[in-house]
Chains A and B, each alone.
Chain A
Amino acid sequence: MQREETIKDGILPIYNTIIFEIKMQRKKFYFFFIITILVVVLMGYILVLIPSNLLADTYVEFFSGGLTFIRFITLFAACLFFSGIICSEFDKRTGFIVFPKINKYKLILGKYLGNLVLVVSIVAIYYFLLAVFGIWYYGPVLNIRIFYSFGFAVLYVIMLSSFVTFFSSFLKNVNVTIILTLIILLIGFNIADSFVTLFLKDAFEPLYSLIYLGNLITSILQNPFPNPRYEEFSFGGTGPGGMGGRFTIGNWITPSIEMGITLFVVYIVVFFVLAAYLFKRRQL
């Protein structure tokens, strides 16, 4: 009985924080909710209205095409929802309270879970609406790989959130955290990936790149799974006598499923451990 009460006392503050955080962030949620609906309606309805724009052959291919913007939405959502988790406590100086009414780790955990619920809800709405449009065009032919894709999308959100939370743990300002994480995720990783593929070609897979890992969300839908996962396009040879130089552009399509899952988990653990460590140090 006493043990049950201890557990309840331990969980209740987290639960209350989750509810409070959800209420606090509801305007952001409404914004992303509307954006999600507009994007899915555009991809799944408006574009399909154009007769010459051919519908994909199968439900899964339709789904894969419709998921084009899921990574943008999750990326922006992660940056906007999770950027203030830790740094806002120090920005507003609540993180320096010596005798807080609630354990600071429970507070951070509650805030994180509250935001995670909202972002995962946005992803779920995206998948749900796309699935509904798919049923309209193809009938009820749900495929297990769509659920795998959703699983990877959730893992991707958790990974991005851990990355943003990590930055939030040592940066001073929410806006700086948003801008910096957006720049790194949107531009930094893409530039790095381009350089790595250009110079090292198939010798080095860009597994360091969080953006590259996100390719698993759509590539898991392909049957068979892409193999080989590295492809090259060559062009040229049109000089005198057809002897011109040849140019080759390489592209890493996707990480393998096993490696992808492993790296998702590794990055999540590493970023959270670092965030917790920096948060603890910051309070000292």
Chain B
Amino acid sequence: MMKRKIKFNILSLSLLSIIFFGTLLSAVSASTIYQLGLTKSTEEYTVIQYDDAGWKATINPVSNPKVFFQGDANVTDAKSKQTIKGWVDQTYTTYDALLSLYFSLFEYITWNNFKTNLTAAGYDNITINTAYNNTYDAWYGLSAEWWFTDGIYKEKPNNTASPIIIMKNPSDYKLILDNCNALINEILNNTAIDPSFKVLFNSFANKTADDFLWQLVFYGFGVAQPGADYLNKVVSDLACVNTTASGSTLIFERTGVTDYTVEVSYGSKGILSTFVVKNVGDNIIYEITSSNADWIFFTILISFIAVSVAIITYVVVRNRKLKK
């Protein structure tokens, strides 16, 4: 009897410590106004619908969804997936934010090519961070990404270090945009810098809030929870003109061949959930939705527990009957 009690106590203690440990970790990540929704798991994306003629008539006659997503993104039923591997707290300086959030790939390459000229003119990370001394706290997530394919997935991901960036304070996006725009203007007005470089650099001066947000969507922009409040705050702080937030969805009003809208929704994990492109007549030209296999795990787990309980009950009842 005594032995049983001790065994029971040890088991209870182990279970309690597991639960406590899990709760503690959740509490640590829930210490700010906005909470991180990321969980280590996999989201699968499927191209539900793609109207090639509609795309070409609305957005661009010579492009297709591959401009937004890698792989066979222009094939209906093509699938891609993203596995969230982990995240850390990260503090960005203005220089970090400039390179990793503000610049597009082309801008980043241009900056790197002219880095010597910029350093010579006094624009290295130290001087930039001294002049624009704000810091921006973020959750920096890392994910493995399998690009869209209409066949079976490759065993190894196409990208093992795809970022997910979530600013802890949504107002920081506005601060980053203002600081980076001011910095670029300052560089353009600096007479010490090679004018030929300035001509190239001139094309990406004064990024608008809409363009900045649109660019971020494809750079691993993530949302803290509650998602609706967070998105609303980002859009209102940035004072976007052609972008609105509706619940957990960002709605971009854009112009190609004709006007069109792009609706980007974010799920409870804070990453992309659906991506819908609509023409002026509100007809869907392109649609991606996401799903996950959490239900399979819980089905297996519940079945396993149910079978275990059934076996234990059967053994206990049988033993009691035999003893009687």
At the interface, is chain A mostly helix, strand, loop or mixed?
Answer: loop
Using Cβ atoms and an 8 Å threshold, which residues of chain B touch A259?
A: none
Using Cβ atoms and an 8 Å threshold, which residues of chain A touch B1?
A: none
Using Cβ atoms and an 8 Å threshold, which residues of chain A touch B160?
A: 57
The residues in A between 24 and 76 inclusive whose CB is less than 8 angstroms from any CB of B are: 38, 41, 46, 48-58, 60
Q: Is B322 an interface residue (CB 8 A)?
A: no
Q: Determine if B41 and A137 form an interchain contact, defined as CB atoms under 8 angstroms apart.
A: yes
User: CA separation between A48 and B83, bound complex, in Å?
Assistant: 13
**Cβ of A53 to closest chain B Cβ, rounded Å:** 6
Q: Determine if B296 and A140 form an interchain contact, defined as CB atoms under 8 angstroms apart.
A: yes
Using Cβ atoms and an 8 Å threshold, which residues of chain A touch B18?
A: 41, 46
Question: Given A48, A50, A52, A139, which contacts B296 in the complex, CB threshold below 8 Å?
Answer: A139
**Cβ of A148 to closest chain B Cβ, rounded Å:** 14
User: CA separation between A141 and B292, bound complex, in Å?
Assistant: 12
Q: Determine if B155 and A223 form an interchain contact, defined as CB atoms under 8 angstroms apart.
A: yes
The residues in A between 96 and 154 inclusive whose CB is less than 8 angstroms from any CB of B are: 132, 135-141, 143
Q: How many positions in chain A have a CB within 8 Å of any CB in the partner chain? A: 25
Q: Is B85 an interface residue (CB 8 A)?
A: yes
Q: Determine if B87 and A58 form an interchain contact, defined as CB atoms under 8 angstroms apart.
A: no
Q: Determine if B88 and A52 form an interchain contact, defined as CB atoms under 8 angstroms apart.
A: yes
User: CA separation between A53 and B87, bound complex, in Å?
Assistant: 8
Interface flags for B68-111 (1: CB within 8 Å of A; 0: not) read: 00000000000001011111100000000000000000000000
User: CA separation between A37 and B293, bound complex, in Å?
Assistant: 22
Q: Determine if B42 and A137 form an interchain contact, defined as CB atoms under 8 angstroms apart.
A: yes
Using Cβ atoms and an 8 Å threshold, which residues of chain B touch A223?
A: 155-156
Q: Determine if B25 and A137 form an interchain contact, defined as CB atoms under 8 angstroms apart.
A: no
**Cβ of A128 to closest chain B Cβ, rounded Å:** 8
Question: Given A50, A56, A140, which contacts B293 in the complex, CB threshold below 8 Å?
Answer: A140
User: CA separation between A153 and B88, bound complex, in Å?
Assistant: 36
The residues in B between 196 and 237 inclusive whose CB is less than 8 angstroms from any CB of A are: none
User: CA separation between A46 and B40, bound complex, in Å?
Assistant: 12
Between A and B, how many residue pairs show CB distances below 8 Å?
69
Q: Determine if A138 and B21 form an interchain contact, defined as CB atoms under 8 angstroms apart.
A: no
User: CA separation between A135 and B296, bound complex, in Å?
Assistant: 8
Question: Given A51, A136, A140, which contacts B29 in the complex, CB threshold below 8 Å?
Answer: A51
Using Cβ atoms and an 8 Å threshold, which residues of chain B touch A57?
A: 83, 85, 144, 156-157, 160
Question: Given A55, A135, A136, A143, which contacts B85 in the complex, CB threshold below 8 Å?
Answer: A55
**Cβ of B20 to closest chain A Cβ, rounded Å:** 11
Q: Determine if B86 and A52 form an interchain contact, defined as CB atoms under 8 angstroms apart.
A: yes
Q: Is B282 an interface residue (CB 8 A)?
A: no
Interface flags for B136-179 (1: CB within 8 Å of A; 0: not) read: 00000010100000000101110010000000000000000000
**Cβ of A82 to closest chain B Cβ, rounded Å:** 25
Nearest chain A residue, comparing its CB with the CB of B159: A57
Nearest chain B residue, comparing its CB with the CB of A132: B300
Q: How many positions in chain B have a CB within 8 Å of any CB in the partner chain? A: 33
Using Cβ atoms and an 8 Å threshold, which residues of chain A touch B294?
A: 136
User: CA separation between A132 and B307, bound complex, in Å?
Assistant: 15
Using Cβ atoms and an 8 Å threshold, which residues of chain B touch A53?
A: 86
Nearest chain A residue, comparing its CB with the CB of B24: A49
Q: Determine if A48 and B40 form an interchain contact, defined as CB atoms under 8 angstroms apart.
A: yes
User: CA separation between A39 and B262, bound complex, in Å?
Assistant: 47
Interface flags for A229-264 (1: CB within 8 Å of B; 0: not) read: 000000000000000000000000000000000000
**Cβ of B160 to closest chain A Cβ, rounded Å:** 5
Q: Determine if B86 and A132 form an interchain contact, defined as CB atoms under 8 angstroms apart.
A: no
Using Cβ atoms and an 8 Å threshold, which residues of chain A touch B144?
A: 57-58
Using Cβ atoms and an 8 Å threshold, which residues of chain A touch B87?
A: 51-52
Question: Given A54, A58, A140, which contacts B142 in the complex, CB threshold below 8 Å?
Answer: A54
Q: Determine if A38 and B83 form an interchain contact, defined as CB atoms under 8 angstroms apart.
A: no
User: CA separation between A156 and B85, bound complex, in Å?
Assistant: 32
Nearest chain A residue, comparing its CB with the CB of B153: A141
Q: Determine if B14 and A137 form an interchain contact, defined as CB atoms under 8 angstroms apart.
A: no
User: CA separation between A134 and B21, bound complex, in Å?
Assistant: 21
Q: Determine if B22 and A55 form an interchain contact, defined as CB atoms under 8 angstroms apart.
A: no
User: CA separation between A48 and B153, bound complex, in Å?
Assistant: 24
User: CA separation between A56 and B85, bound complex, in Å?
Assistant: 7
Nearest chain B residue, comparing its CB with the CB of A52: B88
User: CA separation between A141 and B81, bound complex, in Å?
Assistant: 12
Nearest chain A residue, comparing its CB with the CB of B294: A136
Using Cβ atoms and an 8 Å threshold, which residues of chain B touch A49?
A: 21-22, 25
Q: Is B44 an interface residue (CB 8 A)?
A: yes
**Cβ of B179 to closest chain A Cβ, rounded Å:** 28
Q: Determine if B84 and A55 form an interchain contact, defined as CB atoms under 8 angstroms apart.
A: yes
Q: Determine if B14 and A38 form an interchain contact, defined as CB atoms under 8 angstroms apart.
A: yes
Interface flags for B12-40 (1: CB within 8 Å of A; 0: not) read: 00100010011001000100000000101
Q: Determine if B88 and A135 form an interchain contact, defined as CB atoms under 8 angstroms apart.
A: no
Using Cβ atoms and an 8 Å threshold, which residues of chain B touch A135?
A: 293, 296-297, 300
What are 25 pairs between A and B in contact, CB < 8 Å? A41-B18, A46-B18, A48-B40, A49-B22, A49-B25, A51-B38, A51-B88, A52-B87, A52-B88, A53-B86, A54-B86, A54-B142, A55-B83, A55-B84, A57-B144, A57-B157, A57-B160, A58-B156, A135-B296, A136-B41, A136-B294, A137-B42, A139-B42, A140-B293, A143-B155
Apart from A55-B84, A55-B85, what are 17 other A-B pairs with CB-CB below 8 Å?
A46-B21, A49-B22, A50-B25, A51-B25, A51-B38, A52-B86, A52-B87, A54-B142, A55-B40, A55-B86, A57-B156, A132-B304, A135-B300, A136-B293, A139-B293, A139-B296, A140-B296
The 8 A-B pairs of least Cβ separation, nearest first, read A139-B293, A136-B297, A54-B86, A55-B85, A54-B85, A57-B144, A55-B40, A139-B42
